[in-house]
Structure 1
Amino acid sequence: MECFRIDESGYTGFDLLNADQRFQGAAAIAISDEDAANLIREYFPKLQAPELKYRALSRRSANHPRLLSLLRDLLTHHKCVTYICDKRYLLMLMFLDHAVEPFYYERGMDFYEGGQNYAMASFLFVTGPTMLGQPAFDRLLQSFQQAVREKTPGSLSALISATRATKWETFPEALGPLAQFEAPECLSEIANPGVNTDAAPVVLQSLVSRMEVMANGPYRVEHDQSKNLLAYHDLLQRFIDHDQEIEFRQTEITSIKFPLKLAEVTQVDSKASSAVQLADVMIGAAIEAVNRRAGLRSGGLDPDAVSSLYTDNQFIHLTPSFDLEEQKRFRQGTQAGELIDYFAENFYTPRST
Structure 2
Amino acid sequence: MLYFDESGYTGPDLINSKQPYFSLASIRMTDEEIAQIKEEVGYCEWGRELHFKSMYKSYHGQKILDKIFNHPLMDNYHVLPSFAHKRYCIYANIVNILVETMYHFNGINLYEGAKNLILANGLHCFAILHSNKDLVAEFENNFVGMVRKPSIESVANFYRTTDKLRYDVDTREGFFDMLSEIPPTIQYIKEALTHKKFYIDLTIPLFSVSIQEWYNKTKVKENVLFDSSEPFFANIEFMESLRDMEVPETVVGYGKGKHVYPLPVGNMEIAKSHEEFGIQLADVFASALCFALTPRNDKFVKYQDKIKSLPIFQNIKLNIAPSTNDFIEARMKETAEIDPLDFLCEHSDRININKKSNI
Q: Give TM-score scaled by structure 1 length.
A: 0.83
Q: CA offset at residue 240 of structure 1? A: 2.1
One-letter identity of the residue aligned with 2:264:
K
Query: Corresponding residue for 1:309?
Result: 311
Query: Corresponding residue for 2:50?
Result: 52
Query: Corresponding residue for 1:99?
Result: 98
Q: CA offset at residue 221 of structure 1? A: 0.3
TM-superposition CA deviations, 1:112-136 (whole Å, max 9, x none):
3443433433333233154373222
Query: Corresponding residue for 1:211?
Result: 214
Residues 221, 126 of structure 1: CA spacing in aligned structure 2 closer, same or farther, 3 A cutoff?
A: same
1:220 to 219, 223, 235: 223
Residues 346, 283 of structure 1: CA spacing in aligned structure 2 closer, same or farther, 3 A cutoff?
A: farther
SS at match of 2:22: strand
**1:200-279 to 2 correspondences below 5 Å:** 200-245=203-248, 246-250=250-254, 252-279=255-282
Q: CA offset at residue 215 of structure 1? A: 3.1
Query: Corresponding residue for 1:120?
Result: 119
Residues 282, 160 of structure 1: CA spacing in aligned structure 2 closer, same or farther, 3 A cutoff?
A: same
Do 2:204 and 2:239's aligned partners in 1 also have CA atoms closer than 8 Å?
A: no
Query: Corresponding residue for 2:140?
Result: 141
Mapped partners of 1:236, 1:297: distance in 2:
39
SS at match of 1:59: coil
One-letter identity of the residue aligned with 1:263:
G
Do 2:84 and 2:321's aligned partners in 1 also have CA atoms closer than 8 Å?
A: yes
Mapped partners of 2:306, 2:177: distance in 1:
38
Which consecutive residues of structure 2, in runs of 5 or more, have no partner in the other structure? none
**1:341-352 to 2 correspondences below 5 Å:** 342-343=343-344
TM-superposition CA deviations, 1:299-353 (whole Å, max 9, x none):
27444654541287865222223x3233220463255994345556766999989
How many residue pairs align between the two structures? 346
SS at match of 1:261: coil
Q: Give TM-score scaled by structure 2 length.
A: 0.82
One-letter identity of the residue aligned with 2:311:
L
TM-superposition CA deviations, 1:177-201 (whole Å, max 9, x none):
333x454135532344566221112
Query: Corresponding residue for 1:24?
Result: 22
Residues 164, 195 of structure 1: CA spacing in aligned structure 2 closer, same or farther, 3 A cutoff?
A: farther
Query: Corresponding residue for 2:82?
Result: 83
TM-superposition CA deviations, 1:93-148 (whole Å, max 9, x none):
01011222334445555433443433433333233154373222222222222222
Q: Is residue 182 of structure 2 the alignment partner of residue 184 of structure 1? A: no
Query: Corresponding residue for 1:10?
Result: 8
Further displaced range: 151-160 or 44-53:
44-53
One-letter identity of the residue aligned with 2:78:
K
Residues 236, 130 of structure 1: CA spacing in aligned structure 2 closer, same or farther, 3 A cutoff?
A: same
Further displaced range: 301-310 or 241-250:
301-310
Residues 152, 345 of structure 1: CA spacing in aligned structure 2 closer, same or farther, 3 A cutoff?
A: farther
Do 2:206 and 2:318's aligned partners in 1 also have CA atoms closer than 8 Å?
A: no
Mapped partners of 1:296, 1:17: distance in 2:
21
Q: Is residue 293 of structure 2 the alignment partner of residue 290 of structure 1? A: yes
Q: CA offset at residue 266 of structure 1? A: 0.9
Q: CA offset at residue 22 of structure 1? A: 0.9
Mapped partners of 1:312, 1:346: distance in 2:
37
One-letter identity of the residue aligned with 1:158:
N
SS at match of 2:180: helix
Do 1:82 and 1:314's aligned partners in 2 also have CA atoms closer than 8 Å?
A: yes
Do 1:221 and 1:265's aligned partners in 2 also have CA atoms closer than 8 Å?
A: yes
Mapped partners of 2:87, 2:343: distance in 1:
24
SS at match of 1:263: coil
Do 1:148 and 1:196's aligned partners in 2 also have CA atoms closer than 8 Å?
A: yes
SS at match of 2:300: coil
One-letter identity of the residue aligned with 1:166:
L
Residues 25, 344 of structure 1: CA spacing in aligned structure 2 closer, same or farther, 3 A cutoff?
A: farther
Mapped partners of 1:342, 1:298: distance in 2:
50
Mapped partners of 2:288, 2:341: distance in 1:
30
Mapped partners of 2:128, 2:338: distance in 1:
27
- Identity, % of aligned pairs? 18
Which consecutive residues of structure 1, in runs of 5 or more, have no partner in the other structure? none
Further displaced range: 182-191 or 142-151:
182-191
